[in-house]
Amino acid sequence: MSKIAGHLHKILAILTLATLATFATPSLTAQAQASSEPTPPPAPGDRRGMRLERTWLRQQRTYDRLGFMFDHAQQRIERAQELIDQATASGRDTAGLQAALDGYEAAVKSARPAFESVKGILASHKGFDADGRVTDAELAEATVRSMAEQLREIRDVLLNPARALGDALRAFREANRPN
């Protein structure tokens, strides 16, 4: 495999994995306490509150992973574009790869507003205190549902283009394997 194809493979693999990992990585359920004061244990039988707290924590971690992906997506896309340009200049057929990268870039741009709207949900954290503990179960459940809708919207926009990019990368590698 040539140097260009090797670098292209690495950059596009990182893009694809970053997007897919955002939605596939299991989240931890433990939460670090922001204050030094111990939090009282949940009341016996308060399974609903515990479930909401775990869900809220998982959603926050998903948001953090998405933030990392969005923060670095543009520079990775630009680097991948440079490598595609180099591969094209050296006579390789990069049409499928270019189309997949363009689709992925468009998906990242269209998912950005939904990602930004999640900031408002996190900032207000209705039904939760600053440490992520349930203060009002009804409000907390509405917050979790709203957050889930936004995260689902982001996933729906990004998942297929990320898979298409991965498929195009595999096809490119297969077509450009050294004999």
Is 31 within the bounds of a domain?
Answer: no
| Conformation bin of residue 92: beta by default, left when phi > 0, alpha when psi is -120 to 50 | beta
What's residue 164's pLDDT? 94
Domain tally, the chain: 1
Q: Is the pLDDT of residue 12 over 80?
A: no
Q: Report the SS3 class of residue 45.
A: coil
Mean pLDDT score, 155-174: 92
What's residue 53's pLDDT? 94
Report how far Cα 146 is from the mean position of its chain's Cα atoms. 17
pLDDT digits (tens, 9 = 90+) for 26-75: 443 333 333 444 445 455 557 889 999 999 999 999 999 999 999 999 99
Q: What residues does 128 pair with on adjacent strands?
A: 134
What's residue 3's pLDDT? 66
Q: Which residue segment(s) compose the domain that 135 sits in? A: 3-24+49-175
Among residues of the chain, what percentage have pLDDT more than 90?
61
Nearest to 77 by CA among 3, 158, 142, 14: 14
- Residue 21 — pLDDT band, cuts 50, 70, 90? low
Is 36 within the bounds of a domain?
Answer: no
Q: Is 47 exposed, middle or buried (0-12, 13-18, 19+ CB in 10 A)?
A: exposed
Mean pLDDT of the chain: 82
Is 106 within the bounds of a domain?
Answer: yes
- Residue 176 — pLDDT band, cuts 50, 70, 90? confident
What's residue 61's pLDDT? 95
Among residues of the chain, what percentage have pLDDT more than 70?
74
Q: Please answer whether residues 172 and 1 qualify as being in contact, where contact means their C-beta atoms are separated by less than 8 angstroms.
A: no
- Residue 98 — pLDDT band, cuts 50, 70, 90? very high
